[in-house]
Amino acid sequence: MNFDLKILGTASAMPISDKNPSAQALQVQGRLFLIDCGEGTQQRMRQMHLSFLKVEALFLSHIHGDHLFGIFGLLSTMAMYGRSEKLHIFAPASFAPVLRFFLSYFGEGVNYEIEHHPLDCKAPELVFSKKNLEVLAFPLQHKIDCFGFRFNEVLTARQAEKRAPRSFAYCSDTMYFPELAGWVKGVNLLYHEATYPQALADKAAARFHSTTHDAARTALEAGVGKLVVAHYTSRERDISLFEKECRVIFPNSFAANDGDVFEID
């Protein structure tokens, strides 16, 4: 059964003509989950033939616009398609007034329940467990409350006889800190923001972001299978530079483009 990551957006805060801000779709054995929701998310979902009605849960790392501004359109479109199934949103407590605003001004016709699960943890904590998936949230080091997520596949006894469970970790906006490698240890695929090339390390530190070397160092220390980076600064348009710099430290690194699909195995 499938376990794959679809990249819906790879830009950071400043607009880039050929890149949407942060958003990803994770498919696990036929189930669909969204991670962050920058502008253009629903358009990219249409392009990649992802159903609005099949989204089971949405995981928001933090309340910065480039990770959030697409959510009003997405929630409205779900309503227009006649969604009736509850939507679970795992997000910092600061998301609560954003959701209230949406429902107050644009909630007419939203006939499905939206349940916000506030995130507040100082170390990895199980926040979602159902059928073949469990999700842990963990704190990142950014300017505001920000969380990463680890998605662990849960196998039946029969499946476990044939193969090992697969895993994916999403590390959004953060500066490097040593504890993170332990929290994402051994995942098959690690997504880690690498907003800046190493030459702009001073800007990364000032803005609580990571460089290519920061992301690759975490991947190496965690012993992950594969590293994918994105959330690129608009200052650098050649993303091959990000991949090259990561591979100096962690050879199995890839700089993502919008629309890329990564199989997790």
pLDDT in tens, 77-119: 999 999 999 999 999 999 999 999 999 999 999 999 999 999 9
Tell me: the pLDDT tens digits for 195-204?
999 999 999 9
Query: What is the phi/psi pair of residue 164, to 5°?
Result: -90, 150
Catalytic sites, residue numbers:
66
How much is the average pLDDT of 210-217? Answer: 98
Tell me how far apart the alpha carbons of residues 211 and 16 are, in angstroms, rounded to a whole number: 19
pLDDT of residue 1: 72
HSE-CB of 265 using CA atoms within 13 angstroms: 5
pLDDT digits (tens, 9 = 90+) for 154-168: 999 999 999 999 999
pLDDT at residue number 226: 98
Look up residue 264 and give its two tokens. 């997790």
Give the range of the structural domain holding residue 250, as residue numbers without chain letter: 3-263
**Residue 19 near residue 11 (C-beta atoms within 8 A):** yes
How many structural domains is the chain composed of? 1
Domain containing residue 126: CATH number: 3.60.15.10
